[in-house]
Amino acid sequence: GEDVEQSLFLSVREGDSSVINCTYTDSSSTYLYWYKQEPGAGLQLLTYIFSNMDMKQDQRLTVLLNKKDKHLSLRIADTQTGDSAIYFCAPGTGGFKTIFGAGTRLFVKA
Amino acid sequence: DAGVTQSPTHLIKTRGQQVTLRCSPKSGHDTVSWYQQALGQGPQFIFQYYEEEERQRGNFPDRFSGHQYPNYSSELNVNALLLGDSALYLCASSLGGANTGELFFGEGSRLTVL
């Protein structure tokens, strides 16, 4: 079956880097997404990587993909208090089913 | 440009009742997916509608059913409600066909079953 695992909590100091890790089981995933959910708000796409890439950089965000090990990570450089949110790893098949992990709650201490 | 809108935002039902939740997709989107998000959990995929047909379905019982209208809006129906159906129900719209598959989420309908 399809499964997505991520650590539930991460706490960092403002200005440090945050790294959120994820493992998934569905090898047919063509897109690996990261969604962000702020308190009382809906989920928003943060970034994504296509399955034939191993790295993508987007301003403060770096996504690393190890397709062989089905391991995905999201690095946030210079983490700010406004980055405090829940981050969901979500493997998908580009327009079809997208599966979400339980989410990693990022706490940023000033 | 209106994003994804869902109604109602909150509702309370009792066990055994039936509920209908509604979703209007983002302008230009033709695909609607429904998710159930229990407290402290990630969204669980219920099903996806495209061209008025259920295209994909997650591991949810037949008590969960849906519909998509020609204007792409969608409904989620849940029959014979159980306490465990209490959750935030999220609607997400996207473009059908081969694309990045980015989902645009509404703010959800929070269902409480007593």
Residue with tokens 């790294």: A19
Q: What is the mean pLDDT of residues B85-110?
A: 90
User: Looking at beta carbons, which residues of chain A come within 8 Å of B106?
Assistant: 42
pLDDT of the residue at B100: 79
pLDDT of the residue at A41: 79
Centroid of chain to Cα B20: 10
pLDDT of the residue at A95: 73
Q: Judge: B103–A102 Cβ closer than 8 Å, yes or no.
A: no
Q: B24 — contact with chain A (CB < 8 Å)?
A: no
List Cβ neighbours of B40 (8 Å cut-off, separation of 6 or more): A102
Tokens representing residue A28 in the block: 């047919």
**Residue B99 is nearest to which of A95, A98, A100, comparing CB atoms?**
A95
For chain A, state the CA radius of gyration: 13
Q: B4 — contact with chain A (CB < 8 Å)?
A: yes
Give me the phi and psi of B25, to 5 degrees please: -75, 165
For the stretch B19-50, pLDDT in tens is: 999 999 999 999 999 999 999 899 999 999 99
For the stretch A4-57, pLDDT in tens is: 999 999 999 999 999 999 999 988 888 999 999 998 778 999 999 999 999 999
pLDDT of the residue at A1: 57
Looking at chain B, which residue has its C-alpha nearest residue A34? Answer: B102
Question: Choosing among B5, B35, B105, which should be mutated to test the A contact, i.e. which has the most A CBs within 10 A?
Answer: B105
